[in-house]
Amino acid sequence: MTGISGKKKRFRQWLPDAGLAIQNLSARKLRAFLTMLGIIFGVAAVVSMMSIGAGAQQQVLAFIEQLGVRNLIIEAGEITDTQELSRIRKSSPGLSFKDLRVIRANVGDINYSAARKKFSPTSILPKSGRSIPEVYGVAPEYLEIAGLRLASGRFFNHDDNGRREPVCVLGDGAKENIFPQQPAVGEYLKINSQWVRVIGVLAGQLTLDGDLGSMKAKDLNNVIYMPIDSLMFRLGSVSAMADEIDGIYLQFAPGSDLAAAGGVVRGILDAAHRNANDYTLIVPAELLAEQRRTQRIFEMVLVSIASISLLVGGIGIMNIMLAGILERTHEIGVRRAVGARKGDILRQFLVEAVLISFAGGLAGVALGFGISRLVALMAGWDTIVTTGSILLSFLVSVSVGLVFGIYPATKAARLDPVEALRYE
């Protein structure tokens, strides 16, 4: 009880000082506002810059998570130079079904695996409203590995693949391009010279506008999916030197060591391809960890840059407080003469400094939020104002007021009462 009553007593001591500080700041509104400007702009810079950084990173992180943190993805190298491709084919046959079979036989903890074959059609009927969708031939397991969700209809199964059925499933973007005003399930479309029936439509997926590491930017919604055997039988491959398949997707059991599994897969492919380096192994879990590290570094840099404004604001508080002490020397002397102690004077000026930074912090948070919304509206960027950025910038602003207010408050408390009363 004694401890609680002591805390209440100390709290009551601060209340008159807070009221007096508000009174003194209100009497000098313009000076107080100008003193706050450094804090306001500093906090606004921290909040807005961190929100822009968080928005830029969120889409990338969400896309990587969509790839599957338990997946490994093998992409065939895209070699456009004919001579280079011919040289590589002398030592490596390219990515193939045989690679998939060897990986399945030698790598443990694989829950699902699927090959992928891409095909770029020259024409589609009904005509696509925008760019012609790319066709992906995949195994039925791809639905689970890629985490695809159906909006309507169904995905093809092993019977469809085994019988090479002329069926397809449309990505959300492909559906809107080809059948914008009508349900697509049950309709037919013509890919080059082949008619196929739409049996399902997928829900929208996240996509990237730029490259991510070794992954090229692509619209995953503007895709038509077909059973891989059906695609290879009906649409075939135009180049004898092309890879038999151009992608392998592997999903591992929970708790699997993906780094070790990736090393085994890389060793198998290097041996089979004779170190031709004609493939790319993508480990989304490693990409996710790397992007998170990059995000933390990015945020630290942004905060460091923006904190310079807070430092300038703190120097401004100290400067104004020191000037205010000279103006209010006589007032300090009067307070000391009527019984105020050094601690009372110290508290009075310290509370003023903290109130300036507190009010500036609130205004800065509001301004930073407004700037981030304006950037999102004008530039079309995703911005996220996080609770962490608000708390960080606000706590730093109050701390700046406290730190830079200590010296002026201490100087005011040490004034000699007799000399202060004589000061004019």
78-91 pLDDT per residue, tens:
777 778 778 887 88
What does the pLDDT read at residue 39?
79
What does the pLDDT read at residue 237?
62
- Residue 413, pLDDT > 50, answer yes
Q: Once rounded to an integer, what is the mean pLDDT over residues 198-225?
A: 77
The terminus-to-terminus CA distance of the chain in angstroms comes to: 48
Q: At what angle do helices 258-272 and 97-106 cross, to 10 degrees?
A: 130
Return all residues near 223 (Cβ < 8 A) that are at least 6 apart.
133, 134, 135, 136, 171, 173, 174
The pTM of this model reads: 0.68
Q: Once rounded to an integer, what is the mean pLDDT over residues 210-229?
A: 77
What does the pLDDT read at residue 1?
47
Instruction: Give the lowest-confidence range in 111-115, 243-247, 289-293.
Output: 289-293
DSSP code at position 211: -
Return all residues near 64 (Cβ < 8 A) that are at least 6 apart.
212, 284, 287, 288, 291
Give pairs for 253-261: CB < 8 Å, separation 24+.
253/70, 253/109, 253/110, 253/111, 254/70, 256/70, 256/109, 258/70, 258/72, 258/283, 258/285, 258/286, 259/283, 259/286, 261/72, 261/107, 261/109
pLDDT band with cut points at 50, 70 and 90 for residue 46: confident
pLDDT band with cut points at 50, 70 and 90 for residue 11: very low
pLDDT digits (tens, 9 = 90+) for 344-396: 777 777 777 778 888 888 888 888 888 888 877 876 667 777 777 777 777 77
Return the percentage of the chain with pLDDT > 70, whole number.
81
pLDDT digits (tens, 9 = 90+) for 221-250: 899 999 999 999 988 765 667 788 989 999
- Residue 185, pLDDT > 90, answer yes
Instruction: Give the lowest-confidence range in 69-83, 241-255, 262-276, 404-418.
Output: 404-418
Query: Which among 345, 320, 350 has a CA at the least distance from the CA of 412?
Result: 345
Q: What one-letter code names the amino acid at 124? A: I
Structure tokens at 70: 């338990």
Return the percentage of the chain with pLDDT > 90, whole number.
27
Cβ-contact 200, 169 below 8 angstroms? yes
What does the pLDDT read at residue 198?
95
Instruction: Give the lowest-confidence range in 161-175, 254-268, 322-336.
Output: 322-336
pLDDT digits (tens, 9 = 90+) for 252-268: 998 888 888 989 999 99
What does the pLDDT read at residue 156?
96
- Residue 163, pLDDT > 70, answer yes
> Which one of 193-207, 286-300, 373-387, 399-413 scores highest in mean pLDDT?
193-207
- Residue 119, pLDDT > 50, answer yes
Mean pLDDT estimate for the chain? 80
Q: Once rounded to an integer, what is the mean pLDDT over residues 123-149?
A: 89
pLDDT band with cut points at 50, 70 and 90 for residue 199: very high
